[in-house]
């Protein structure tokens, strides 16, 4: 019973966190930026993902149900949609950091719509095509795992590493320029570069994603081999994997509130009535 209590508590926290991010972006004009539409889409995927995971399973356990497979498919789809949306957000921040001068030309409103539509359609198409073309269930499962678990992890790790390197280079150059500026104009107010903030945000988000997804990937990989299928993990391991899935969707709002400047300011205004302009 303790598992359901903790799971439902984590689910409620995750749902409230993502719902607040969605609410802020929809109601605060200053938050309707290109980057935040990726945040909005990811928050939607995370919100729905946690909504269709524990609550329906708990309902089935209490009252019984005949649609457990439907629930499993929904959990799988929205979990994969969360993964593709975090990839889309990372790609947006990658362009912003690596090609800052070309970012406005590369990431246009039309392209944002296309990218986000692709992020939601890709899980459906890439999950359906192997099932239609392949008859071996183990191969289908392995193909799905490569597309939605292994490949995203590699892409996110490589992209994040490159963003960190570039952000560090920009930070060092900016530090030198600011020191020179401070020497020449002591009264000038120094401001940091946004690249370091974006890189830090992505690093934390991707770090949480990788920790949660690698654990799930190992479990999925085991399911692809008959000899491994016979192995039944300890109850604690199964519970931990479930908690990680919820945490993966519930952690992002807290990351935004702590490390994404514009959303952090709006959270502060909403909860602490801060109306003065923070700098």
Instruction: Convert the pLDDT of each residue in 38-90 to its tens digit.
Output: 999 999 999 999 999 999 988 888 887 777 788 888 888 898 899 999 999 99
pTM of the model: 0.85
Average pLDDT, the chain: 83
Write the secondary structure of the chain as one string of H (helix), E (strand) and C (coil): CHHHHHHHHHHHHHHHHHHHHHHHHHHCHHHCCHHHHHHHHHHHHHHHHHHCCHHHHHHHHHHCCCCHHHHHHHHHHHHHHHHHHHHHHHHHHHHHHHCCCCHHHHCCHHHHHHHHHHHHHHHHHHHHHHHHHCCCHHHHHHHHHHHHHHHHHHHHHHHHHHHHHHHHHHHHHHHHHHHHHHHHCCCCCCCCCHHHHHHHHHHHHHHHHHHHHHHHHHHHHHCCCHHHHCCCCCHHHHHHHHHHHHHHHHHHHHHHHHHCHHHHHHHHHHHHCCCCCCC
Choice between 257 and 108, residue whose per-residue pLDDT is larger: 108
pLDDT at 199: 81
Q: Is the pLDDT of residue 258 over 90?
A: no
pLDDT at residue 279, as a whole number: 41
- What is the pLDDT confidence band of residue 276, given thresholds at 50, 70 and 90? very low
The band of 226, judged by pLDDT with boundaries at 50, 70 and 90, is low
pLDDT band at 278 (very low <50, low <70, confident <90, very high): very low
Per-residue model confidence as pLDDT tens digits over 142-185? 777 777 777 888 899 999 999 889 888 877 777 666 666 665 55
Averaged pLDDT for residues 233-253: 83
């Amino acid at each position: 019973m303790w598992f359901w209590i903790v799971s439902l508590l984590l689910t409620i926290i995750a749902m409230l966190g993502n719902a607040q991010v969605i609410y802020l972006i929809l109601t605060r004009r200053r938050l309707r930026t290109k980057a935040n539409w990726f945040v909005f889409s990811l928050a939607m995927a995370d919100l729905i993902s946690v909504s269709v995971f524990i609550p329906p399973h708990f309902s089935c356990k209490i009252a019984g149900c005949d649609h457990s497979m439907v629930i499993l498919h929904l959990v799988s789809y929205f979990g994969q949609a969360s993964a593709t949306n975090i990839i889309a957000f990372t790609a947006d921040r990658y362009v912003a950091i690596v090609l800052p001068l070309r970012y406005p030309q590369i990431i246009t409103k039309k392209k944002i719509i296309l990218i986000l539509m692709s992020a939601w359609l890709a899980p459906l198409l890439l999950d359906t095509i192997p099932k239609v073309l392949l008859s071996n269930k183990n191969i289908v499962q392995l193909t799905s795992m490569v597309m939605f678990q292994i490949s995203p992890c590699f892409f996110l790790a490589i992209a994040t590493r490159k963003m960190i390197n570039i952000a560090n280079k920009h930070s060092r150059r900016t530090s030198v320029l600011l020191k020179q500026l401070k020497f020449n104009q002591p009264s000038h107010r120094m401001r940091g570069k946004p690249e370091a903030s974006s890189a830090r945000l992505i690093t934390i988000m991707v770090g949480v994603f990788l920790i949660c997804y690698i654990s799930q990937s190992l479990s999925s990989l085991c399911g692809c081999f008959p000899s491994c299928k016979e192995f039944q993990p300890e109850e604690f391991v199964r519970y931990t994997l479930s908690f990680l899935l919820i945490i993966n969707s519930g952690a992002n709002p807290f990351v935004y509130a702590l490390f994404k400047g514009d959303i952090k300011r709006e959270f502060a205004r909403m909860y602490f009535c801060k109306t003065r302009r923070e700098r």
